[in-house]
Every structure is written in structure tokens, then in C-alpha cells.
Structure 1
Amino acid sequence: MEGCKRPQWDYRLQLAPDQENYKKDEKVMLSCPQGFQPLFTEIQCQTQLQSDYETLGNEEFWLGRDSRGAWAHIHSSVECIGGCKRPQWDYRLKLAPDQENYEKDEKVMLSCPQGFQPLFTEIQCQTQFHSDYGTFGYEEFWHGRDSGGAWARIHSSVECIEALLVDHEISSTSIKLKWTCRFPDACQGMRAMCRLAVPSSHPCEAEEMNAEQMLHGQEGTFTCSPLQPFTEYSVTIDLPPNTTLFSWFFTTQESGQTVGQWHWIVIGLVVLLVDRLVVAVILWLVHSRKRKYLMYKNKDDN
């Protein structure tokens, strides 16, 4: 009887019907355990007459139905191929669950260290079979959920990106922050705070100050004033309940008025010193001439 023996492929393959021999043109369905799938889900037994040095015989082989429904000769073993390997992206990315292999359609949450954000916070393992000029292959890739909730194929590496871009302007009495949020959904409810870096206990030092403001939208400014010149402050932008997106210590510039005041004070001291010196020289000259006059007068009287 023309036919095929049960193929000795991946032991995990499940055949339906499952038997030791199959008739010519008999079709068999292939399946794999959950999370895996075969390169072909349907195969068909085939035979052909073969002659070799005047020896005639039948050769058995299998056809496989590809994704387009066409039948092609299977030249190698059919295996259960499963899911995706752990993506080799930014080393700072944290995956949940964190494992070496993922099943098809399995979803994974992504997160980054404080102050950073991945382009996708949720990804999903995907696989597909493809044929090119009779050659069949298996491809694994990832989908990412965008801010609108739609899934899109990820074509490049996913990295941890700074969620908040901040520029600043410092003067002697104020600090102005210009901020831009790269991920609007991740920056809702931000709060900016400005305070004295090291609280002072001496009454003559800088006064304690606390400024706080809720930030709205995708970009804006935050100004902290009035501040003391040449004093250290801290400014932070937090995302409740306990995420810090930006933190910075800065020192205000020395006041221009203070420099001018010291300039005039120094000039005044110099003028006063010169004036005192001139008066002292005049008094010395007067006293010296008076002594000389008395000396001459005493000589004349004698």
C-alpha cells in the first residue's frame, strides 16, 4: 500500500489523526502545546516512483500548507516553535514578568528608573511564518501599546528616555524653570517645589522659604522668587505619590546691588583714610613749625 509512516519530527507535535501509517494524499493536522506552534499546521502524505540503477521504488514525503494555502515540499523536520526570547534592549528596562522566554500573545509590562520612561509601557510577543521562493521561516517580534491604546509593531530598540526636559535661568533673586514633558500621560498631576537647601538657624542668614505649584499641560514655566543672593536652594518636580522626575540644587548669583554698595563703601573708606592722613600731616607740620619757632625764640632771649 502506498503511503507514509508517522513522521519522526518534534516529539511535542500532536497529529490528528494520530497513527503509525498514513495513506497517500491523506491530510494530517499538526498542533503544539500552548505557547508554541508548528511551521505547518496541515500536512499531506505523498509518494513518488523513484528509479535508481534500474531499481524501482516508491519514495514517501510530506507536503505542508503554507499561510497562503499553497502546498510545498517539506525538506526538513517540523518543530514546535514558541514565542519570543527576552528582548535585548536598554539594560535599564525592567520587565514584568522577567523571564528568558515568552509565549505568543503574552503581555509584558515595561518600566524604567525614576525620572525615565519607556516609549511603550506594555509590549506583547508576536510570531509569524513567512515563505520566500519556497523557503519557509519563522519570525518573532514585539508589539507595543501606544498612548491611544492601539498596538503597533516595534521596529527598533525600546530605551529609557528622560520623561521631563528642563531648562533654567538663574538670577540673584529668582530661578525660572522651563519644562517640557515628553509623555503627557505620564506627567499628569506634577508638582514643583522650591525651598532653602540647608535651613538656617542664624537670624542674619537667609530666611526659610517654600514655594509650591501644580504643573499642567505638556510644557510651561515655574518661577521661584524672591530668593536671597548667593544662597543655595533646591527645586524638585514630583509625580505623586512618590516619583521624582527632576531634582536640582542651585546657588543664586551674587547681587549686583551688593557689589555696587561694597564698591562705594570701599571708596568712602579710602577717601576717609586719605582725609585723615592729610589732616595728620597738616597737624604735624603745624606742630613742627611751632617747635622750631619756640626754639629760636629761646635762643634770642638768651
Structure 2
Amino acid sequence: MALQVSALALLLALPPLLSAQGAAPWPRPTKTPEKCEIPRTWDSRLQFAPAGPSYAPGDSVTLSCPVGYRPSPPVIQCLSNGSQAVWSETPTCRGVCTRAGNWPPSVSAASPRTEFAVGEEVQVTCRQEQYEGRPAWVRCTETAGRVEWDTSNVSCVEKCPRPQWDPRLRFVPDRPFYGWNEQTMLSCPGGFQPSLSVIRCVRWGQTWSHWTVWDQRAWRRITENVTCAETPRIIPGALEVSPTTIKLRWTCEPPESCQGSWKIQAQCRLDGPQSDPCRRKGLTREQPLQGLDGTVTCSSLHPFTSYRVTISGGYPATRAPSTVLYSRRVTTSEAAPDQPEIEPLDPSTKTLRWKQLPPCKGEIVGYQLNITAWREYNSDFLEVEELWVNQSVTKYLLQPWRHGTKYTVTIQGLTAAGLGQASRWDFETEISGKGLPALGQV
């Protein structure tokens, strides 16, 4: 029995014998290698290249995802693990925010990275040249399958760009962008005037600004183009001056410059000390001018007073004129002086006294005294005398001094315009000559 078992073992160990017909021996059965298949549990957004239902061990597959997502990892490989085929990693589509997406153009990030995963934050600052605002944090978020930056904390306001108006305009200061509340002055080459002289950058809403101009009582948004317009010239004509009126004939050249949006205004302003013995009021007389020529008339002025006659222009007509087109100092004519202020008559000195007149209505060149003496009891007695004294005299000794006589004395100031109002003394001397009752002064 032992011999039979050994023979069987030897027979199994020998190579297979050829069949009687000389055919090859029967092959030994082998197992087919397994392949990697795409699990249904993987992220359905994944795309595979090359595409196929299964992959053999050793195959590499490149992955991709829809816009806004990145595969992690980007490449996987089918590996052989004993009798099984397995994937090297389990991939997924991960949401990613990029600067090429909805990255705000008004900010720049402190981080040099170009991609950020959902949930990551990065600090940003406003681009200083074109925007202004405080630093903020932005966060990469995913909502309803959409990946984007949460920029709710960003408050960058766009600056006012340098206006592209008339190329002849000059800006001071001159730069590409202007920040909030910054002003710039506009000017034009010689012979031209800007339609606006000062503009200001003002915030409008939460993200941008616009240019404004001061118009009467408030800043208004500029909607028109600012241009350089030819500055008109005022040609003065005939001048008429009286004690209370100044009249100046004027003509505008060239004619087209004084039409349209130009606003022209004349003004007569007191040109001298605002406080003096004459108590002149510094009232300014203004009047609008229209057309290509006309007359500037300033009335209700002070005599013998210097005024500055000014014609100014402005563009457009919605604002006050600011460019002086013509200016001249004019003195009104002299008028008769006011009534001199007199002092009570001193009987002991028999002297008439008065205060010197100030040159309010003209230069005082002297005083005129008219003396009349008469007697009620003697109708044949009448003496009349007219005297002239120079402007420095302020008293007069009455001679001769007649007793028992009534006197009426008047005094008037004199300018180049003539005699002014009179002040008056009325008195009567005693017959004895011992007393002098003053009857009154006017």
C-alpha cells in the first residue's frame, strides 16, 4: 500500500506527457487580474481623462472639475494590491476662489497666492492710486454650489478721475485721481476763461465719487462739460460824475464773448477808509449788465468820495462773476458843505466862534459871514456887511460894537460847489452897553 502512494506522488511530479497525437499539454488554469472602477460614491462633478469604465493597474487618470472648483488630487493611479486593484487616493472637487473670478478690482491682497480654498480669508487693501478706504478681510465662500468671495466688509470708494474736458484746461494740483473732498483749480491759456474755476471731489453712494462745483449756496454735481471760453474785454466810454451819481458808458468786445452763458455785473464800492469824520457808509451798489453795450449807473452815492467802479464777468451765468474785466477809481463831485456848528456868543469877548467844517462834501475853501444890524426905534438905521475868511479861521471879533442894536449874523461854509447851509446868531445889545442878553442861536 505504501508503494502505491509513492508511485502516485512520483507520477504527479513528472511533467505532463504528450498525448498520443503529439499535442501540447493542458494549460494550468490562471486568475484574470482585477481593474479599478469608478465608485458611485465619488464626487459626481469629477471628470476623468482618459474616460473609461475601468482602468488597469498602473494606469494614471487626470481629473478635472467645473468652473470654480479644483480636483484634489489632480491625478490618481490604479494600483495592484495583491489580487486586488485599488486607487491611489480618493479624489474630490474642492471649491476655490481665484483672483480671476470675482476678486474686487478695487483691492489688492497682502498674500501672493492666487487661489484660496472655501473658508479661507485674506486681508486686502484699497488700491491707493484709484481708490481709498480702510483695509478689510474677504472670505472664500460656497453657497448653493457657487463659489465666490464674500466682499461685504470691503468699502473702497473710487476716486474722482482727472476730467477729460477741454484739452486746454489746466489743473492745479494736477494728478490722475483725486480723493474725497480734494479740490483743484482750473485755468485756461491767456485770453480764455474756464467755465468753472474750482471743482471738488465728493463721495456719491458707497463705492464711487463725482465732481461738484459751488453754486450759490451748495455744492452741485457737475453734469456739463467745462470749457475754455474767450474772455470778453470792456471798452470804457464817456464818464459822467455828479455829487451823488457815477455814469460810465461801456462796450463789450468781441461781441460773441459777452453773449450766451457769460454773466456780467457792475459794482461801485467805497474805495477808502471805512471810518472817518464824515461817517460815510461803505454801501456797495451793484447792477447786472446785459447786451453788448450800455451804461453803468451808480446812484445815491456820497459827494466828494472815491469809489472803485468794477465790471466783472463770470461763466457760466449760474455763478457770481469772478473775473475783473474793468476797474477804475472815480471820485464824485463836490457839493455845498453842511451847516457849521456854532458856539454861544461870549459877551465879554464880543467874539463869534464856530467849529471847522470837515471836507465831507468838498474841500472847505473859506467861510462867509453876513452881519445885519438894525434898531426898532430908528427905522432909518440899517447896517449890512458881508465878510470872507479863509478855511483855517474859526472865530470873528464883532467890531464896531453898537449899543442898543439888534444883530443877525449868519455863517456858511464854502466849497468849489458853492455856499452851504447857514448857521445863525441873533442877539441885542443894551443901550448902556453894560450887558448883552443873548436872544438865541440857530
Shorter-chain TM-score bucket reads 0.3 to 0.5
Higher-RCO chain (CA-CA 8 Å, sequence separation at least 6):
1
Larger Rg: 2
Which structure carries more helix by proportion?
1
Normalising by structure 1, report the TM-score: 0.38
